[in-house]
Amino acid sequence: MNHLNRRDALKTMLGALGSVAFSSNVYSQFAQPSALDSNFSGGPKRVIFFLQNQGFEPKTCIPLGMQNSGSLANATLPEPIQALQPYRERIHIINGLHGKHTAPNHSAFFGALGGYRGGDGVPPSASTIDYELSRVLPETLLPHLSIGMDSLGNMRAKPTLATLSASGAGKPIFMYSNPLHLYKLLYGGLATGELKNQHQAQSLMLKNIEEIARGGSAGLPVYDQKLYGEFTKGFEQMNGLRERLDKASLNLAEFAPKLDDRYTKPSFETDWHDVLLDLGISALKSGVTNVLTVASGRGEIFGSWKGLGVEKQGHNLGHMPQHNNPIWIKIRQYNSQMLVKLIQELESVPEGSGTMMDNTLIVYTSNNADKQHTKGTTWPFILIGDCQGAFKMGRFTQLDGTRPINALYASILKTVGVNNERFNMSEKMAARYDSSTGPLKEVIS
C-alpha cells in the first residue's frame, strides 16, 4: 500500500468517526504530518519497547572482541542476536547504564520503564517512558498498546496484567495476553458468525456495567467517591475505545491479521506469542497506535518457551547463566527474529520519502538489568532505527556505569521535543545515582 493510499485510508477512517466525540487534533494528526514532524525534524513518529524478563547478560549482545566503544561496521554479533547481523549498521548496542536505584532483583517491574524503585506488588510511583511518549507523539485511536507473552496457563488465567507500564502514580496500564481478546478489540467490528456474537454480547455487557457503575457511588465518603470515579471512568474509556475501533473497522480491514487456529487452539505458548506480535504490528501499520510495548515474560519471573523446545520455564530460567547457554541462545534468537520481523514489516510500508521503519525507534532490553538476581549495576540496551538521523547508529557504546537508564529515556524524549534533564529522578536522587544531567551525548546525533 503506498503512502498516499495509506493516508487517504486514514482520512476516510476519521470521516467515519464524525459522529463520535473526538478531538479535532486527532483528525489533523491522522490526515497530515504532525506538528512534531515539522518542528522537530528527525524525531521518531513511533517507538517500540521490547523487554525480555530474567535479565540481559551483556556477553549475549556485545560484539565479539569488542571491549571499547566503536563502529559495528566490521563487527560480528554474538550468536544469540546473530539475526540482527544484516542490520548492524542500523543498531546501537549500549552497555554500562545502570538501574541500581530501581532495586531490580527478580524484576524492576514498573521501575524498568519508569526509572524508579519497583517491586512485586508495588504500585507505580510515576508514569513510564512509553506512556510519556504516547502523550507527545501524533495522537491515535489507541495511544499506547502493551502486549504480554507468558506460558499458556498464565495467559489464559490472567489475560490482562499490569507490571511494566503506567500513566502516573498508582495508575498501571494493563497489557493484553490473550490474542483473541485483543483481536476482538482491534477488529471486532469485522467479525462474523460466533465471534461477532461474542463481540456484540461483550460490548453490551460492558455498556450495562458502565451504566450501573455510574450510579453506584451514592453514600460513599468523598475520598472513596474519587476512587470510584476512577473506576467508572475506566469503563467509559474502554467502551469509548471499542466504539471508535468498531466504527473504523472497515478501513482497518486490510491490516487485520488472518484469524487462524493459533488464536483458539494453540499447540504451544509461542503460537500466542507470534500472533500477539502480529497484532501489535498490525496496530502500528494501520496507524491505530504509535507506541507499542512488548513484554516477553510479562515483566515478572515466569515465562515459557516450550514451542522452541525449551522444557524449563519460569523462575528456574533465571538461575541459569545466559552466556553460551543453549536454552538462552534459543530464547534470545527468538527475540531477535521478532525484532527482524518488526523491522521488515515496517520497511514494507512507504512513508514520506522512506518507510515506516525510517520513522521508528525500537528499544530492546530487559525489565531486570543483566540477570535475575542483580543489583542493576549494568543494564544493556539495543536501539534499532535512527528516526531520520535522530540517533547514532552502527555503534557499540561502553559507558562507565555512572549514568542511569533514566538518561536514555530523557534522550528519547529529547528527540520528540521534550526537554527533560532528569526523567523521573529528583535532584537528591540524581546526586547519588547520576554523574551528569540530561540526555546521553553518545546516543543522540
Q: Which of 6-10, 111-115, 238-242, 398-402 has the lowest mean pLDDT?
A: 6-10
Q: What is the distance between the alpha carbons of residues 138 and 18, in angstroms, rounded to a whole number?
A: 19
The answer, yes or no, to whether residue 128 has pLDDT greater than 90, is yes
- Summarize the confidence of residues 199-218 as an average pLDDT: 63
Q: What is the pLDDT at residue 299?
A: 95
Closest to 45 (Cα-Cα) out of 166, 134, 116, 171: 134
Q: What is the pLDDT at residue 320?
A: 92
CA 437 to chain centre: 26
Q: What is the distance between the alpha carbons of residues 363 and 424, in angstroms, rounded to a whole number?
A: 19
The answer, yes or no, to whether residue 245 has pLDDT greater than 70, is yes
Which of residues 247 and 431 earns the better pLDDT score? 431
Q: What is the pLDDT at residue 13?
A: 38
Q: Which of 81-90, 226-235, 270-279, 349-358 has the lowest mean pLDDT?
A: 226-235
- Summarize the confidence of residues 98-107 as an average pLDDT: 94
Q: Which of 78-92, 96-110, 221-235, 290-304 has the lowest mean pLDDT?
A: 221-235
- Summarize the confidence of residues 355-367 as an average pLDDT: 96
Count CA atoms within 13 Å of residue 158 on its CB side.
15
The answer, yes or no, to whether residue 406 has pLDDT greater than 70, is yes
Q: What is the distance between the alpha carbons of residues 176 and 275, in angstroms, rounded to a whole number?
A: 12
CB 29 within 8 A of CB 139: yes
Residues with Cβ within 8 Å of residue 363, at least 6 apart in sequence: 47, 48, 49, 50, 381, 382, 383, 384, 412
- Summarize the confidence of residues 328-343 as an average pLDDT: 98
Residue 262's DSSP bridge partners are: none
Fold of 3-179+250-433: Alkaline Phosphatase, subunit A (3.40.720)
SS3 percent helix, strand, coil of the chain, rounded to 5, is 45, 15, 40
The answer, yes or no, to whether residue 4 has pLDDT greater than 50, is no
Give the predicted TM-score (pTM) of the model: 0.86
Q: What is the pLDDT at residue 11?
A: 41
Which of 27-31, 166-170, 220-224 is predicted most confidently? 166-170
CB 230 within 8 A of CB 220: no
Band (25; pLDDT cuts 50, 70, 90)? very low
The answer, yes or no, to whether residue 223 has pLDDT greater than 70, is no
Q: What is the number of other CB atoms lying within 10 angstroms of the CB of residue 298? A: 27
In eight-state DSSP terms, residue 391 is B
The answer, yes or no, to whether residue 231 has pLDDT greater than 80, is no
The answer, yes or no, to whether residue 316 has pLDDT greater than 70, is yes
Residues with Cβ within 8 Å of residue 398, at least 6 apart in sequence: 67, 68, 69, 95, 96
Q: Is 317 left (phi over 0), alpha (psi -120 to 50) or beta?
A: alpha
Percent of the chain with pLDDT over 70: 80
In 79-186, the DSSP E strands lie at: 91-95, 144-149, 160-168, 171-176
